[in-house]
Structures are given as C-alpha cells and as structure tokens.
Amino acid sequence: MKQIIPQVFTFANLLMGRVYLIEDSDGLSLIDAGLALAAPRILSQLSSAGYAPSDVKRILITHGHFDHIGGLPALKAATGAQIIASGIERPYIEAKQAPALPPKEALPPMARLMAATYTPPIAKGTPVDREVNEGDILHDVLGGLHVVATPGHSPGHTSYWQPQLGILFTGDVIMCLPNMRLPIAAFTPDMAQSKRSLQKIANLKPNILCFGHGVPMHNASPRLAAFASKVAAG
C-alpha cells in the first residue's frame, strides 16, 4: 500500500484497475474493487496494515467494468461493506445486463479491430446497497466526498471529488498510461459524452488525480487543463 495524502492510499500489485483506500474515524472506504484476483491481495495488504476485513465499511464503485468490480463479490463477502454506486450502473454491477459497448461501425479502424477480436469479460454480480447521484455528498468519507456524474465510458460512470483537499478519483473518464489519454474507444459506448465529462472534471481544477488506470498525479490541474483543451480542439 502506498500513501497518496494523509488518509488516502492505493494498493500495490493489482495488475489492472487501481483501487484506493480512504481512512476515516469510523472505518475504511475503498474506491473500486479491481480484477477478481485483486480481492485476496487487497485483504492481505489491509491485514499487513493492521486492519481487519470488517474495518472496510464502504466500497464506492466508479463503473461496472470487470477490471473495477471483479474483486467485489469476494470483498463484499469478506468485509460486509456497503456497496455504493450510481443507480444507472446498478444493472452492470449486479450482472443483470452486459456492459454497454459502442456500435462497432462507429469506431475508428484500430478500435473496431479490437472490438471485433475481444469481448470484455463480465464480472460476477454484486448487489448495490446504496445509490448515489450527481451532487450527493458522502459526509462520512474524507470529510465530505462529492459524487460527480461523468458518463460516457459507461452510462452511469461516476467520479468522486473532495473539493477542500482538491483530490479527484476519476475512474476511467481519463487514464494515465503513462500520459493522460481518453478511455479505450472499443470499451466506451459514448465517447462524445465522455469528452464532455472530461471537460467537467477539468473545470473542477483538481490538484490530485487518482486514476482508475495509472499512477496518481499531484499538481495535476495545469496538465489536466492542457489535456482537456487539446481534446476539445479535436
């Protein structure tokens, strides 16, 4: 586990899909759950840090893709945490519906090839306990974590924002591999909408970006602004 700022950490060695840990006086919150293989790794890293599984009170989900919710069934079973997500993402997280994919004919050639040769796996479903919407504030988390709807990569894609600390948990509205980039086109059903969501998070002027994929970035606001204007310019 690696500290990003006081109270906020990220787990190591999850292969794909970053998972964050937030410490509060009443217990822990996770943001996203990684691949299925992430669950035992998260639990063992928590144990090394002196925590019991039951210290995890909440798991916040950005969106229902397999690399963000694969570890959720095992983490829910081990921790009993409340699963929090957008209601729009609920059918994907609960595996009642396959994740939305873009129409193949709308994709650029390389993305079309990727979409034709690879279908993302569908993670096992986990019931959502609490739905959140744009503007909601999770008062128990990090002194007030704001729910920001950032649809496009997934219809109910959600980012989480703490304005006083200037820290944003982006999910996949932006990736950093190793430079800032848009989400993978083949797995983004509405890229135009996702680009609008990118402008929305750039307007927040976050100081710290905690990506769903990539290394967390400090002093990020000028780089995010530059990337967002490059994207807006097409």
Min separation Cβ 171 and Zn ion, Å: 7
CA atoms in the 13 A half-sphere facing the CB of 142 = 27
* DSSP track, 6-66: TTEEE-S--SSS--EEEEETTEEEEE---STTHHHHHHHHHHHTT--GGGEEEEE-S---H
Min separation Cβ 34 and Zn ion, Å: 12
Complex with Zn ion: residue 56 or 175, whichever CB lies closer: 175
Query: 130-132 and 82-86 as β-strands: parallel, antiparallel, unpaired?
Result: parallel
| Contacting range for Zn ion; rule: CB under 5 A; set: 103-111, 120-128, 168-176, 223-231 | 168-176
Output the CA–CA distances (angstroms, integers) from residue 141 to 22, 24, 27, 86, 89, in the order listed: 7, 7, 9, 17, 21
Complex with Zn ion: residue 18 or 65, whichever CB lies closer: 65
Min separation Cβ 37 and Zn ion, Å: 17
Binding mask 42-71 for Zn ion (x = CB under 5 A): -----------------------x------
Residue 6 C-alpha from the chain's centroid = 20
- The pair of structure tokens assigned to 37 is 């293989």
- Is 172 one of the binding residues for Zn ion (CB under 5 A)? yes
- The pair of structure tokens assigned to 32 is 């996203």
Min separation Cβ 7 and Zn ion, Å: 26
Complex with Zn ion: residue 64 or 166, whichever CB lies closer: 64
Complex with Zn ion: residue 172 or 190, whichever CB lies closer: 172
Q: Could you list the residues that contact Zn ion (CB under 5 A)?
A: 65, 172
